[in-house]
Structure 1
Amino acid sequence: MKIQDVEIYYFDIPLKEPFTITLGTITTSSGVLIRVVTDAGITGIGESSPFQPVTGDTQETNVVAARAIREMLKGKDPLAIESAHKLVGGFLHSNPALIAAFDMALYDILGKAAGLPVFRLLGGDKTTFETDVTTGIDTPENMVKSVQTRLAAGFKTFKIKVGMDPDADVARLQAIRDAIGYDYGIRIDANQGWTVAQAVTALKAMEKFKIQFCEQPGLYSDIAGMKQVRDESPIGIMADESLFSPTDALKLINAAACDYFNIKLMKAGGMTNGLRIALIGEAANIRCMLGCMIETRLGLTAAAHVHGACGNIVFADLDGYFSHTFDPIVDGMAVKDGMITLPEKPGLGVDVDPAFLKKLKRV
């Protein structure tokens, strides 16, 4: 089997409303759709969902890199995923989200060729698991409304964005707990928004809210600061923006800087590195979460296959498409009452609506 062509499309979906975190506000999911076409009649699909303040790449840098990678992969064996990574690995640091798109497309082909869903091909048997749903930074009143709407939709665990003024963040969480009580899980994400001193103060004040863990309290590069926060915080610390690669995982372990890992395909460069990070975490007794940017259900389904394949991934934050104005994806993972169910079709078990595909701008 050989790769005949790679189709590249601009992949834009507006959000229902602006989504704000400490790093900025997002109004559109702007990525790249990849279709890897083989001479055996099998096509694999993938998507990038870059967020420049975190991943460093953009839709435009992804498009430029995708043109080059297309020429590099033509004529190559799509089942040789390891070799493909070595061939295009130079793009990983500058365009991790795009490498994730190609990686998931190759796994899609591999699963289809084997006649197995990817998570089963990788040895997994986890077909269902819970995901949280995220509420962005807003007024306490609006954040309460957001949580209550999602509670009514069946979700039982809520990820709350924080990282602004610690007192204001405490007030937001107080309002949410007052509204929903303590029967539902809350985890928080500061997105690097606090200093070490602010993080310690905020997390001590938030202990009473029964927070599961806090993602990335401080600057991604301040590993020593993360360790200090971990040492002084009553709430467990999860590395996010500090964790892109398997090498980063080793550095965090050696520094004893965190309690948990947040793996995102768009940071790691795809399923291959996502699995590697999860297994490194397992060796160090560090449990993992599978997170996301604002992918469609295409990219989220690929992430869900990684979750389903690895027992050390025990948390999920795969809610990116809930903020989209429409869902152009056919099949793929299903979400009901906060529970994800994986598809059993060969490959990723997901596709893009042909009518929507015709409307996309092709590169």
Structure 2
Amino acid sequence: MPVIDASNDPRGAAVAGGVADRLTDGLSRIDNIRVVAPRSEAGTGTERASAPSDFEVRGELQRGQQAWILRARMIRTATGEVRAVATVSVDADESDTQLEQSRVAAGAGHLLAGRLNRLLETGESSDATGGSTTGSTRTVIEQATASINQTTRERFGMAQTMLQEALTAESNNVDLAVALAALQLRGIQMVWYSPDDARAGATLERALRAKPNSIPVLETYCRFLSANNRFVESLVTCARALSFDPWNGLALYLVGLGQIHLGRFEDALATFRQADRFDTPQVSRWTWLLGAGWANMMMGRGDDAVPWLQRSIAITPASGRSHMLLAATYQQLGRLDEARAAMKEGLRLRPGTTALNVSPPTKNASPVFLEASGRIIKLMVAAGLPES
């Protein structure tokens, strides 16, 4: 339904209309639902769905001192029961109305798409075989996710303990197993955990058989494929996840990562920029910023890379790899003192890193990727990275 403008702002009506249009367009791209547009009833000034629907999405836009605030509800039409609530706050940027609208719509759409996916694919009742997501399971997963919004090794450990304890109590719970696998794969990419590919692969293949259209399962399997350099397969799996949640920034990041390794740097940059326009989910925000900086550096665009890398580090400074890439960027730009300082911090966070192990595994990477990556490593060495 149309988003109600309750903002008392001269731009409110235009922003509300733009958000409604973007939300409608995004929801209509979801494979297993259909979206019907509202129609005005003559003489009444009211809007009703143009065809029977299971749910109505209603929203109200307000303007705070520094932000646009959207409150959206997904209501079961037959009963009036509220099945999902999304409250989104986006910093108001007078210079880019399109970006404001995109982020407000994405913030609500991402939450609503996830809720619809659970309703359609996993159900709501308890099932000891792992066939659905219970309220207690969702709570554990949400709390574990919240604990790593600021990504550090300590927070990862806290989230892992939380999920492992819950999985011990419910050993057949597919959702908990997938959430734990997702966390550990993220940790592997941060070089905080050692991979257990056989176990993760078996868990995810079991989950795919049980829930082939589940967003968490698809995005975690995409991460697994990416972590194992199966980039072509990861692009297909991530595209499937995006077909159920077009605003999924994690899936977009993994698409961009595959494109980088396949030597498609311009495509990767466009993908990372799209993720940044959506800016959701918050837990993954630093990744597409790092990806955009990396893609720019692979094309030799140091000036463009710097702000992306600085924004990524400001959100998650614990990776170390981000600092090393920033050091290479400064080195290319002739900012040598800053390059040495960034490399020093990167080595503090990732002791033992050398030119031989700084790069991720190169299996299945394209020659174009290998050439560009080698050039960046030389810049890192010039900034202070040990050669061996």
Q: Which has the higher helix share?
A: 2
Q: Which has the higher strand share?
A: 1
TM-score, length basis structure 2: 0.25
TM-score, length basis structure 1: 0.27
Bigger Rg, structure 1 or 2: 2
- Higher relative CO (Cα under 8 Å, sequence separation at least 6) belongs to 1
